[in-house]
Structure 1
Amino acid sequence: MATEDNAENDIPFKVLQIFKDEKARPKVVRTYDVNIGWLAESRSPVITWRTVDELIEGGKTSAELKWRSKRHQVSLLDLRPKKSIAPRVPRAESRALPPQR
């Protein structure tokens, strides 16, 4: 297993923890779209970072994964949360202060 948790073809570490096996290769069997509901995934890809990104871009928010006889539902948004935006400095603090006399 790669040391970095974000190489495109790696299985997300959280998924390996859910299945309790670092050799797990879970497949996506269903996905959830807030506008439609649960849909069977015909191609059943292995859940990699690339798959997570593709599903999120396609409007999916959750997935049901299957590996061997185990099934688990995961939030794709929890696997790949949006990067937080750095908080803005309040305008009054962003200006240079006048010299102290």
Structure 2
Amino acid sequence: MFTLTISDKPIAVTNADADEARDLFMSDDFKHDLKTLECEGAPLWDGFATLSIRPASEPEIAEFEATDEDEESAGVEDDAPLIIFLVEVSDPDEADED
């Protein structure tokens, strides 16, 4: 498992292998999501801070596995890699729809 950090802060973890994790986390679509999604009222990424990928730590793996178990118990099954955010994330676009 691999973790995406922004300015050394762990943001998300995936069960993808190293190459796939890099492709996922560094894709233009995911970077767009990072600039759109918010944590505590601010975008996760400003478009300039350093994005890094590293092997996930034991606590990050445990959090991923706990979340993955919740997904499985909800009937969500997919062979594609999962990405789990390690911070509270909100989508301001969804809030506008309410």
Look at both structures and tell me which one has the larger radius of gyration over its CA atoms.
1
- The bucket for the TM-score relative to the shorter chain is under 0.3
Give the TM-score normalised by the residue count of structure 2.
Answer: 0.24
Q: Which has the higher contact order (CA 8 A, sep 6+)?
A: 2
Question: More helix per residue: 1 or 2?
Answer: 2
